[in-house]
Amino acid sequence: MADDSKVSNVGGRYAQALFDLANDEKKLSAVEADLKALKKMSADSKDLRSLLASPAFSADDKGKALAALGAKAKLNPTTRKFLGLLAANGRASALPAVITAFEALAADARGAISAQVTTAVPLTPTQSKGVAAALRTALGKDPEIETRVDPALLGGIKVQVGSRLFDASLRSKLDSLKFALKRA
């Protein structure tokens, strides 16, 4: 658990540095779009996740792979240089934490707040609008919602905003009931 907090702290520091650089170069939206694309690539590719996380690959190998990926995806030069720096410093495994922290910084700069919404089935447009309205009312800021589908929830919804988690999923209610029955 302590190791995760170190990675997120490293991710936060690197994200802040990238955010400041992109802001100074007036390329904030381009870098943010690049990071969102990288996030999607990572989610879609088990090989990329393995490359980033595995200590079996050297920092040089990770750097070459990220450089090739950046060139192929036509990422902004600022993003490509940053990926090279991340790999050269042996921090390629922190890329997911960097992306998450950067998204939060960018949303905060726009006066919005990032929220991750997980449901058992995809939300309809009407449901998405309802969730956005409820979050806007509860948080006082416009939410930028990222939706995920996790059939393991069985039903209901999980909403994470920063470190706060609202869990109204059927899975967590069943787990609570199971725990209560075991104690009885």
pLDDT tens-digit profile of 89-119? 999 999 999 998 898 899 888 888 888 899 9
C-alpha atoms less than 13 angstroms from C-alpha of 164 in its C-beta half-sphere: 8
Q: pLDDT-based confidence at 5, cuts 50/70/90? A: very low
Predicted local distance difference test score (pLDDT) of residue 10:
85
Q: How far apart are CA 143 and CA 3, in angstroms?
A: 30
Whole-number CA gyration radius for the chain:
19
Hey, how many other C-beta atoms are within 10 angstroms of the C-beta on 74?
Answer: 9
Collect all residues with Cβ–Cβ distance below 8 Å to 79 and sequence separation of at least 6.
Answer: 30, 31, 34, 35, 38, 70
Predicted local distance difference test score (pLDDT) of residue 162:
78
User: Are 165 and 158 a contacting pair, CB within 8 Å?
Assistant: yes
Q: pLDDT-based confidence at 163, cuts 50/70/90? A: confident
Q: How far apart are CA 105 and CA 29, in angstroms?
A: 12
3-state secondary structure of 38: helix
Please say if the pLDDT value at position 3 is more than 50.
no
Give the position of tokens 């955010």: 19
Collect all residues with Cβ–Cβ distance below 8 Å to 91 and sequence separation of at least 6.
Answer: 10, 14
Lookup: tokens for 38: 């990288």
